Amino acid sequence: MKAVGFDNEKYVRMQSERIEERIGQFDNKLYLEFGGKLFDDFHASRVLPGFAPDSKVKMLLELRDEAEIVIVINASDIEKNKVRGDLGITYDLDVLRLIDAFRGIGLYVGSVVISQYASQPAADAFKKRMEALGVRTYIHYPIPGYPANIPLIVSDEGYGKNEYIETTRPLVVVTAPGPGSGKMATCLSQLYHEYKRGVKAGYAKFETFPIWNLPLKHPVNLAYEAATADLNDVNMIDPFHLEAYGETTVNYNRDVEIFPVLSAMFEKITGKCPYKSPTDMGVNMAGYCVTDEDAVCAASRQEIVRRYYQALCDQRQGRVDAETVYKVELLMNKAEVTPSDRRVIAAALERAQSTGMPAAAIELCDGRIITGKTSPLLGASAAVLLNALKVLGGIQHDIHLISPIIIEPIQNLKTKHLGNHNPRLHTDEILVALSICAATNPTAELAMKQLHKLRGCEAHSSVILSHVDDSTFRKLGMNLTCEPQYQTKKLYHK
């Protein structure tokens, strides 16, 4: 079993209390900018073993009677059909997904804001769609000279031109499908309108990373830099906090760079800035809940290696440039970790070299490493999945979980009727076949019962996997990396 290094219950409790405290500092009205992922924060759960992916949602549920959600989407992102890389859906569809997800757990979604609106036709269509679905939708406009032209920004022609968002609860959580949506500008616009109405509302920021009270070069903070290498985020000492309090804390470049402007906006809106530093604005308590430093450091170093391979594959697919890969390499050096520290890589490459075909490997949570090779019936990822289930279930390796009699008709369906050229079964297809066999075959049923044990396991492929195989591994909760090369020399890959 992997070591636990984070107290999740303590985190949920402390985080809820901290936000309650911050609400009380203002006129019982707080706009909380929520960075990162509210649902399924798997990065945090990987670098802070013990952190539950839904921790932040649980924390909000502690405040459900006081909280409402406002979702911000940039009109340009709607127009460009911007896609979330992790989910493969456009930002406008993700707004619908988020609303359903929040409502599904009992959190109140008050409204949606379209930021940077400049009469984009797609944004107009999105607004009509939202209103037809009964979701209140507001418009915020671009402001010339933002964020430097403070006299214009903090005026009736700046923030004052934006539609005022009607809210009814003390805590307004402002979130978005992704970065660059305009969350901070939405919060500050609301402060402007609230103060004009005589409500002395406040603003705070919730960002899980970097963790402000861990050292600058702590592996957890280095892993965050690796995860955002393509965004040019850089962790740094907060100079404003150091000057004000003589205390060394960690923030990141964008918040530090914007703080003087933000402070001036606060003074213009409220008469004075309630914060002396970017760190002051934050409410994150994760650093207080680390229980095993060694476990957290080890997990974070592994994450940096995974991010390195992700960057290599992204570069191969044209998503990032060589500079991003170089940045992650530097972070590996700072963290004193190399690809050889990820044991599953060598196992996959050795199997690929011995067979002359793509191969894959899985490291189980107890440290055992299982490999799988490409065969006429199965792709390497499907093969390693079945092999791992056999080991977890104590099933002999030479026992067929799925009869070739079942596999061959599926292959015929793929190649003769569905237009596929590759007859080998993908991971999702092999799992469906296994589940069908489990209805009549006790051994297959035993294998199916082992699936939950794959969560948290490490996996590596000697080639870039297809989207469907990649997705299956991630849905099963495995941490997948791939070599930055394709199985074939074709230009088009699915």
Q: What domains are defined for the chain?
A: 8-211+250-287 (3.10.630.10), 343-482 (3.40.140.40)
pLDDT digits (tens, 9 = 90+) for 302-344: 999 999 999 999 999 998 999 999 999 999 999 999 999 999 9
- The two tokens of residue 23 are 């609400």
**What residue type is assigned to position 268 of the chain?**
K
- Collapse the DSSP code of 6 into the 3-class scheme (helix H, G, I; strand E, B; otherwise coil) and give the result: strand
- Whole-prediction pTM value? 0.91
Distance CA 213, CA 279 (A): 10
Phi-psi region for residue 40, left (φ > 0), alpha (ψ -120 to 50) or beta? left
- Collapse the DSSP code of 208 into the 3-class scheme (helix H, G, I; strand E, B; otherwise coil) and give the result: coil
How many contiguous H segments (helices) and E segments (strands) does the chain have?
20, 12
Burial (Cβ within 10 Å: 0-12, 13-18, ≥19) of residue 162: buried
For the residues of 46-66, what is the DSSP string, one character each? Answer: HHSTT--TTHHHHHHHHTTTT
Any idea what the Cα angle at residue 81 is, between residues 130 and 469, rounded to 5°? 110
**What residue type is assigned to position 13 of the chain?**
R
Phi-psi region for residue 84, left (φ > 0), alpha (ψ -120 to 50) or beta? beta
Instruction: Look up residue 105 and give its DSSP letter.
Output: T
Asked if 328 contacts 311 with a C-beta cutoff of 8 angstroms, the reply is yes
Distance CA 311, CA 315 (A): 6
The set of residues, in sequence order, having a beta carbon less than 8 Å from that of 100 and lying 6+ positions away, is none
Looking at residue 492, what is its pLDDT?
47
Looking at residue 425, what is its pLDDT?
85
pLDDT in tens, the chain (494 residues): 678 999 999 999 999 999 999 999 998 899 999 987 787 788 999 999 999 988 988 899 999 999 999 999 999 999 999 887 666 789 999 999 999 999 999 999 999 999 999 999 999 999 999 999 999 999 999 999 998 899 999 999 999 999 999 999 999 999 999 888 999 999 999 999 999 999 999 999 999 999 999 999 999 999 999 999 988 889 999 999 999 999 999 999 989 999 999 999 999 999 999 999 999 999 999 999 999 999 999 999 999 999 999 999 999 999 899 999 999 999 999 999 999 999 999 999 999 999 999 999 999 999 999 999 999 888 999 999 999 999 999 999 999 999 888 888 888 888 888 888 778 888 999 999 999 999 999 999 999 999 999 999 999 999 999 989 999 999 999 999 999 999 766 644 45
pLDDT digits (tens, 9 = 90+) for 100-123: 999 999 999 999 999 999 999 999
**Residue recorded with tokens 């309108």:** 193
Beta-strand runs (E) in 228-313 = 235-237, 250-252
